[in-house]
Structure 1
Amino acid sequence: MKKSLLALALMGAFSGAALAQSSVTVYGVVDMGVQRDDNGLSTNGTKYSLDSGNQSGSRLGFKGTEDLGNGLKANFVLEMGILADTGASDQKGLGFGRQAYVGLAGDFGAVNFGRQKSLTYVASESIDPFGVGLAGNMNRLFSTVTRVDNAAIYSTPNMSGFSAAALYSFGEQAGNNSALSIGSLSGTYSAGPVFASIVYEKAKDAQSPAVTIANTGEKTLIGGSYDFGMAKAHAAYELLKGGQSGTTVALTKKNVWMIGATVPVGAGAILADYTRITDTVTSNANATQFALGYTYNLSKRTNLYTSYSQTKNDTQSAYNAGGKGLTDKLFNAGIRHAF
């Protein structure tokens, strides 16, 4: 009997030690707000709605690490998007549409495999004063692939504020291994009040319907921010060279830039940005966006928000609007809770 008790105690001790080497965290965001979108049409152009994910996409996620010894760790993330207004899955119904990857990390950096954020999106999250959310989301005019399937990403360790990353997304086309593939490189500096990043991305086979027109061809993004204490300044520039369905990649060339600011005010912050896109191929196809927002922290995990943006289109452009030459006006107000 004593031997049995001793054996059980030893098994419990070893089990506890094994469990101490790994951990799993459940996390998420629930974001809900009222939104008014006027896409510029004189009839049936204004929509009022109760929408999920105005500031941050509502989500439920699981992430974990396992210590493999000698500084090596295994890690994974499974993150599903949720339309909290209806309870349905976001990202067109994908089970874990936000992220789904597994990888290794150590002194060499980290390498992950699966559905992941693109390098341009990772940079945009830090550059944009609106955090690529709310009505001022700079990606309403910038062209950013949010997530990439079948992706392998290598990230270097932080070296005195400098880091780099490389992404390759497999096109998975039989007989042509480069077809529909995406390659990307980034370099980042983040230390003290300074954040700066440059990203280059190239998508193959711009004419394919499997890749949307806005995200094809070549893309170079340069941007950053500087925190002065009383306010943070933001700026970004993007050069787009892309194609349209049935044509060559060289047909489209656009310049996009943004300037913005974040001004802390008590427990909240005022957000503002001005964004402009210029089409160098098509005449009168430019657009500008001005946005203003405010967030107020009720606690470390819960905040209120409101924002407004206005997108003005030239006669041959229709960004965010219901037709060419129209002006889109977007307003929202809501609450976000993270857990």
Structure 2
Amino acid sequence: MKKSALLFAILGGSAQAALAQSSTTVYGVADMGLVVENGSAAGSITKLTSGVGYGSRVGFRGTEDLGDGMSTKYVLEAGILMDSGASAQGGLAFGRQAYVGLTGSPGSVTLGRQYTPYYWTLLTVADPFVTGYAGTATNLMANPGRANNMALYTTPTIGGVTGELSYSFGEVAGNITASRASGGSLGYVNGPLVIKFSFNNATNATGTDNAKNLLLASAYNFGPVKLHAAYAQNKGLGTTNTQDGLIGVTVPFGASRILASYVAKNDKSGANRDAHQFGLGYIYNLSKRTELYTAYAHISNKNGATYIVGNGTELGSGNSAFNLGMRHFF
């Protein structure tokens, strides 16, 4: 019956039958907050910012059952700057995500603009601030967030173990190595324990140099508190050579949760431009979909280091920042 319906849909004979096998969901995030940044040579700044914690967005996700345990899926997700109404990600129509793929018992394959496996490890395991607010770990740690032209394979979960492999085509004529990237992750989940290792390797626009990032992250949920820890090695373009360490906690209680983390960057070069960040946040759930939040972070730079405190959308301007805002999921 499903094969017949699919055949009629292809021939244009039964649109209703095709629609009956698929589903599409519209979803989004509306996030606005007050941001106060200090420590810049230009002076402090106070502003309203979109996406302080989670980038504001509207998205479409859908699936279609192909039978025999196989299905298609797609995501089209547009970033929105709610303070101005403009598109985020440099004005791209679907700059956050845009991919299509197949999923089934052998795993899934998705194609398009997607998040790297490295970023998912930082987001879901390492960082109690989930790469948002003033305390985001990405103020000091590498953030290979999205990649264009990516083919991503995700294995099925077997005995708590799952893996990912990605390859992003550079699409530079006559130079197969230029602007390409590869990555992957291997994770293990056993009840309250999560351990995940990820890597990302990105080549520059001429194919003559590359950035290599390794990340080992873990989290353990004791119930009243969730502990986070991470260690990263970065060998970037040119002579960059750094190590990062993170420890953090998530403390849920009632309708609230407290977030805190300490991130240290160790510059292995002769300049020894180290930095340390402390972040603290508080989130209160007004309902299942609406939250109030506040956060603060400060970076101590050493030997001329110039790291700054940003948030989920902006890079920031100084070495400390305060956030106060509201977020609604729909």
TM-score normalised by structure 1 residue count? 0.88
Q: 2:15 and 2:199 mapped to 1: Cα distance?
A: 47
How far residue 110 of structure 1 moved from its aligned partner, in angstroms, is 0.4
Comparing 303-312 with 281-290, greater Cα deviation is found at 281-290
For structure 2, the 5+ residue unaligned runs are 1-13, 311-316
Distance 1:254 1:28, change over 3 A: same
Structure 1 stretches (4+) deviating beyond 2 angstroms? Answer: 14-20, 208-211
Corresponding residue number in structure 2 for 1:158:
157
The yes-or-no answer on 1:221 pairing with 2:206 is no
Comparing 182-191 with 45-54, greater Cα deviation is found at 182-191
The yes-or-no answer on 1:146 pairing with 2:145 is yes
8 Å contact from structure 1 (residues 79, 99) kept in 2: yes
Corresponding residue number in structure 2 for 1:308:
296
Distance 1:224 1:321, change over 3 A: closer
Report which of the two structures shows the higher radius of gyration computed on alpha carbons: 1
Amino acid at match of 1:46: S
Q: 1:302 and 1:230 mapped to 2: Cα distance?
A: 22
For structure 1, the 5+ residue unaligned runs are 1-13, 245-250
The yes-or-no answer on 1:34 pairing with 2:28 is no
The two structures, once aligned, show a CA RMSD in angstroms of 1.9
User: Within 5 A, what are the aligned runs for 1:56-67?
Assistant: 56-67=54-65
Amino acid at match of 1:230: P
User: Within 5 A, what are the aligned runs for 1:2-81?
Assistant: 16-41=16-41, 44-81=42-79
Deviations 1:161-211 (A, max 9, x none): 110000000011111212211011210112321111101111123xx4899
How far residue 70 of structure 1 moved from its aligned partner, in angstroms, is 1.1
1:290 corresponds, among 257, 260, 278, to 278
Q: Alignment identity in percent?
A: 45
8 Å contact from structure 2 (residues 309, 321) kept in 1: no
User: Within 5 A, what are the aligned runs for 1:90-101?
Assistant: 90-101=88-99
Corresponding residue number in structure 2 for 1:188:
187
How many residues are treated as equivalent by the alignment? 310
Corresponding residue number in structure 2 for 1:102:
100
How far residue 316 of structure 1 moved from its aligned partner, in angstroms, is 2.1
8 Å contact from structure 1 (residues 173, 179) kept in 2: yes
The yes-or-no answer on 1:337 pairing with 2:325 is no
Amino acid at match of 2:37: D
User: Within 5 A, what are the aligned runs for 1:254-265?
Assistant: 254-265=242-253
How far residue 310 of structure 1 moved from its aligned partner, in angstroms, is 0.2
Deviations 1:262-319 (A, max 9, x none): 1112211111000010111132300000000000011111110000000010122100
Q: 1:76 and 1:83 mapped to 2: Cα distance?
A: 23
Corresponding residue number in structure 1 for 2:5:
none
How far residue 16 of structure 1 moved from its aligned partner, in angstroms, is 4.8
Amino acid at match of 2:215: L
Q: 1:77 and 1:191 mapped to 2: Cα distance?
A: 29
Corresponding residue number in structure 1 for 2:236:
242
Corresponding residue number in structure 2 for 1:3:
none
Structure with bigger RCO (C-alpha 8 Å, 6+ apart)? 2
